[in-house]
Amino acid sequence: MASAPQRSRSYRSPGGALDGARVLKIVILGGDGFCGWPAALHLSARDHDVAIVDNLSRRNIDNELEASSLTPIRPIGERIRAWEELTSKVIAFYNFDVAQNYHRLLTLIADSRPDAIVHFAEQRAAPYSMKSSYHKRYTVNNNLGATNNLLAAIVESGVDSHVVHLGTMGVYGYNAAGMKIPEGYLPIKVEEDGKVIHREILYPTDPGSIYHLTKTQDQLLFAFYNKMDQVRVSDLHQGIVWGTQTGETSLDERLINRFDYDGDYGTVLNRFLVQAAIGFPLTLHGSGGQTRAFINIQDTVRCIELAIMSPPQKGERVRIFNQMTETFRLIDLAEMISRLTGVPISHVPNPRKEADANDLEVENCSLIRLGLDPIKLNGSLLKEIRDIAKKYAHNCDRSKIPCVSMW
Amino acid sequence: MASAPQRSRSYRSPGGALDGARVLKIVILGGDGFCGWPAALHLSARDHDVAIVDNLSRRNIDNELEASSLTPIRPIGERIRAWEELTSKVIAFYNFDVAQNYHRLLTLIADSRPDAIVHFAEQRAAPYSMKSSYHKRYTVNNNLGATNNLLAAIVESGVDSHVVHLGTMGVYGYNAAGMKIPEGYLPIKVEEDGKVIHREILYPTDPGSIYHLTKTQDQLLFAFYNKMDQVRVSDLHQGIVWGTQTGETSLDERLINRFDYDGDYGTVLNRFLVQAAIGFPLTLHGSGGQTRAFINIQDTVRCIELAIMSPPQKGERVRIFNQMTETFRLIDLAEMISRLTGVPISHVPNPRKEADANDLEVENCSLIRLGLDPIKLNGSLLKEIRDIAKKYAHNCDRSKIPCVSMW
């Protein structure tokens, strides 16, 4: 990687890796974002016909928060031109708001008849969603409006697109009392007057923020449209993403992915790594006894691909996968980074209403069965991310690191 | 009751019936509608300080559907002036959209500091919600926007208003497999590797239309704001309402309540009664084996009052009551009306995706414990409603009776 744009003449499509798999038409809603952009490149690299829909809301929120990606992300037009220059692959781009502009979405689906629609078009930060009434309302209206528009448009168009949605492990909450969290559905027993009924239900939700709440409400939308109209849906309940680059985004600096380190959008491990890079004590919320599920961004894009390539059958209920590979206590992560870097830990009061400590055991065999080979947290990958953090440390605004959204 | 406006000089406030209960400030969102208007009058009659918020959306939907109430409802201004003329009681009225105009709602709550806010500000017809993508989107955006705005405004204002929300029995679905449907919460047992966990969860939902879906999503909003901000909420899962008039709406024709008979908004028993009044065969969807829960409109307003007068404690979880008094199979209702009137039954294909037949047993002791003395379906009340239907039969547009919304 170089800081000046450069053409990688040696790029070769990894398409053959799919062993002659069908080339699909894929629309990515929110394809300019942190997961959306690397997913778009990953799928385009594998010869799928990719179109991005994005209203650039994440960049606009940067403006609102007076924050920005640590890495120098380029405008979407430049990104797409660089990708074509490097690979001769064309990614279409449509700038509109999925939650507001139903007719544009309907027309796109009806005209392009995509095999799969990846739905990242949601506000995705818990702290942002809790900043004020405005942010609660924006998150609810945007996220549910986008999901409902997508499902209604699929039904109205009559196009049998497979919806691949990014959910969150946060729908389950962190109170499983020693039980392993299943993939979406929970077998239960109900007893009354000696009668016993066995049922399998959507796992009862316990969201910790308005953002997480919207994903629990999305689940009900998916279940409804699936039952009524047999819309095919894969809902991927993702853990906290760490890392920033993938094989494709590393090809050229013009393709570089976002790296958020601010108190609203920075995910915990990435925040620690930036803090370590600039010698800022690692801010740990509360005791750090919170256990959370994690996944590397390279596995994220691979999981999206796996879900797309093995779609559910028509009539199959909503397929729910837990898209995570490891669990860690936050204190253990902080201590590991602290040991690696010598930067101390700073315990700060937890800005969130959540349990101070919890166990977490999660079922995740479905994506592994489809072929995911998990990238585990290890020193060399951490070093790679630290190197990026160091390289762009001059872009870091230290005042943006603390979480100022309290709830 | 007379067809010309007349002043009832004999009106005496039933306020004393509350035995010196506190006079409360009550805001009724959607107070111009079928349940909202009689609830507003019922509470005003009992000396509470009542304000109505309504954007007249229900009247505007009449315009859209080219349908109208069988009864000659008056403009809200005339209604309120008539009520003041008759009783000297003043009901304030604010015309704005709760889902769209957050700041107006916030200001109203902050300024008036209501003890209770009754939330009827939702699109409430299942067939309407399923007519088209537009109607699905309107119902989701309106209903969830209204509920989220209300909850966010309560938190932002710091006013501890008790939210009394009209839910629906339809959140439960109709697949209880012989078990009695509890009031909102279901005790379950989860087993794993010999460990057994007992939990009480929100009853797993199974909505049959977008309208019902929004009420299942409302439940998640209530649970969230209750957990995070201790917002006090009573969610009243109401059965299908029958009847039209209450003690207060009968006082003067200018106060008359809506009576919907069209395929979108007419509730089943009221539709049968209008059909009987004009000699139109009673349209029964499918076999009529569907069992549903019912409640008379007079009990509706009484339940709202009971919920308001016994609010939950701060910190108490969302209180869920089943607001219904009887269950009937639709075929039995149709046969009863047919026997009473000689009008035949016409079996039509069911326009809805739902089970052709189901059992239904419902727990409803909470409101009865608070003092509800249920009005059961009986000949004299049916006759009163038939008389209204007959009196206004000349307003009936027969072409509006069949349900044309299919799903």
Contacts of A262 (CB under 8 A, 6+ apart): A65, A67, A397, A400, A401
Minimal Cβ distance to B190: which of A102, A179, A220? A179
pLDDT band per the 50, 70, 90 thresholds, residue B12: low
CB–CB contact B141 A137 (8 Å): no
Quote the DSSP letter at residue B53: E
Nearest-5° Cα angle at B337, B334 to B343: 95
Q: Give A210's contacts in chain B (Cβ within 8 Å).
A: 224
Residue by residue, DSSP assigns A101-160 as -HHHHHHHHHHH--SEEEE--S---HHHHTS-HHHHHHHHHHHHHHHHHHHHHHHHHT--
What's the rounded Cα separation, in Å, for the pair A315 and A252?
Answer: 42
State yes or no: pLDDT of B72 exceeds 70.
yes
* C-alpha–C-alpha distance, residues B7 and B23, integer Å: 26
Question: Which amino acid would we find at residue B302?
Answer: R
Q: How many CB atoms lie within 10 A of CB B77?
A: 10
Mutate to test the interface with B, among A97, A105, A106, A141 (most CBs of B within 10 A): A141
ipTM entry: 0.95
* Residues of B whose CB is below 8 A from A216: 220
Residues from chain B that touch A192, judged by Cβ atoms under 8 A, are 179-180
CB contact under 8 A, B106 and A190: no
Catalytic residue (choose from B89, B136, B215, B400):
B215
Tell me, yes or no, if B189 is annotated catalytic: no
**Which residues pair with residue B92 across a beta bridge?**
B51
Q: What are phi and psi of B328, to 5 degrees?
A: -140, 150
Asked if B102's CB is within 8 angstroms of A137's CB, the reply is: yes
pLDDT of the residue at A7 = 41
pLDDT of residue B13: 58
Instruction: Give residue A2's pLDDT.
Output: 39
The closest CB to that of A144, out of B144, B189, B207, belongs to B144
Cα–Cα distance measured from residue A228 to residue A230, given in angstroms and rounded to the nearest whole number: 6
Predicted pLDDT of residue A11: 54
pLDDT of amino acid A75? 98
- Give the closest of B136, B210, B220 to A216, CB-based: B220
Residue A141: HSE in the Cβ half-sphere, 13 Å Cα cutoff: 21
Secondary structure of residue B188 in the 3-state scheme: strand
Residue A213 Cα, gap to closest chain B Cα (Å): 7
Residue A374's closest CA among A308, A329, A327?
A327
CB A172 within 8 A of CB A365: no
* Cα dist from A374 to A244, A259, A367, B196, whole Å: 16, 21, 10, 31
B168 catalytic? Reply is: yes
Instruction: Please give the residue of chain B at the shortest CA–CA distance from A185.
Output: B204
Does residue B10 sit in helix, strand or coil?
A: coil
> B107: Cβ–Cβ under 8 A, 6 or more apart, which residues?
none
Residues of B in contact with A195 (CB under 8 A): 178-179
| Residue B175 banded pLDDT, cuts 50, 70, 90 | confident
B342 CB-near residues (< 8 Å, 6+ apart):
none
CB contact under 8 A, A217 and B192: no
Share of chain B above pLDDT 90, in %: 89
CA–CA gap between residue B105 and residue A250 (Å, rounded): 49
- Residues B259/B71, Cβ–Cβ less than 8 Å: yes
Rounded distance between C-alpha atoms, residue B114 and residue B97, angstroms: 18
d(CA A83, CA A175): 44
Q: How far is CA A373 from the centre of its chain?
A: 18
Indicate the residue type of A299. D
Do B275 and B333 touch, CB atoms closer than 8 A?
A: no
Q: What pLDDT sits at residue B99?
A: 98
- In chain A, residues with a C-beta closer than 8 Å to the C-beta of B152 are 133, 136-137
Q: What is the pLDDT of residue B3?
A: 43
**Cα A198 to Cα A196: distance, rounded to the nearest angstrom:** 7
Q: Which residues of B touch A (CB under 8 A)?
A: 102, 106, 132-133, 136-137, 140-141, 144-145, 148-149, 152-153, 155-156, 177-180, 186-192, 195, 197, 199, 201-202, 204-205, 207, 210, 213, 216-217, 220-221, 224, 228, 353, 407
Check A102 against B137: CB less than 8 A apart.
Answer: yes
Query: Among residues A214, A243, A230, A60, which one has the least CA distance to residue A160?
Result: A230
Contact A207 B191 (CB under 8 A): no
Q: One of A89, A136, A215, A400 is an active-site residue; which one?
A: A215
pLDDT in tens, A85-108: 999 999 999 999 999 999 999 999
Could you please report the per-residue DSSP string of A312-327? Answer: PPTTPPPEEEEE--EE
Q: Using the beta-carbon criterion (under 8 Å), do B149 and A137 form an inter-chain contact? A: yes
Could you tell me if A405 and A352 are in contact, meaning their C-beta atoms sit under 8 angstroms apart?
A: no
Active-site choice (A128, A138, A211, A392): A211
User: Residue with structure tokens 């691909």?
Assistant: A305
Q: Beta partners for B348?
A: B285
Burial of B10 (0-12, 13-18, 19+ CB in 10 A): exposed
Separation of alpha carbons A112 and A320, rounded Å:
26
What's the rounded Cα separation, in Å, for the pair A205 and A27? 29
Closest alpha carbon to B119 in B355, B318, B260: B318
Closest CA to A334 of A298, A382, A374: A382
Largest CA distance in chain A: 74
Q: Which of B287, B244, B241 is nearest to B268 (CA)?
A: B241
Burial environment of residue B377 by CB neighbours within 10 A (0 to 12, 13 to 18, 19 or more): middle
What is the rounded distance in angstroms from the CA atom of residue B227 to the CA atom of residue B229? Answer: 6
Question: What does R_g of chain B's alpha carbons equal in angstroms?
Answer: 21
Q: Is the per-residue pLDDT at B156 higher than 90?
A: yes
Substitution target in B104, B201, B317 with the highest count of A β-carbons within 10 Å is B201
DSSP-derived pairing of the beta strands B195-202 and B185-192: antiparallel
Tokens of B242: 């029958």
pLDDT < 50: residue spans in chain A = 1-10, 15-19
B174 is an active site residue = no
| Helical pair A36-45 and A76-87, crossing angle rounded to 10 deg | 20
pLDDT digits (tens, 9 = 90+) for B234-258: 999 999 999 999 999 999 999 999 9
Q: Residue B136: which of A136, A148, A202 has the nearest Cβ?
A: A148
Q: Which amino acid is at B283?
A: T
Cβ contact A190–B188 (<8 Å): yes
Per-residue pLDDT reduced to its tens digit, B100-153: 999 999 999 999 999 999 999 999 999 999 999 999 999 999 999 999 999 999
- pLDDT for res B80: 98
Strands A326-329 and A291-296: antiparallel
- Which tokens go with B366? 């909470």
Q: Which of A152, A192, A221 sits opposite B133 (nearest CB)?
A: A152
**pTM over cut 0.90:** yes
Would you state the pLDDT for residue A366? Answer: 97
* Predicted local confidence at residue A354, as pLDDT: 92
Mutation choice for A interface testing from B105, B133, B175, B192 by most A CBs within 10 A: B133
Q: Which of B145, B201, B210 sits opposite A141 (nearest CB)?
A: B145
pLDDT > 70 in chain B, percent? 95
> For residue range B185-208, what is the model confidence (pLDDT) as tens digits?
999 999 988 899 999 999 999 999
Six-digit token string for A152: 């209604």
pLDDT at residue number B31: 98
Q: At what angle do helices A133-157 and B102-112 cross, to 10 degrees?
A: 140
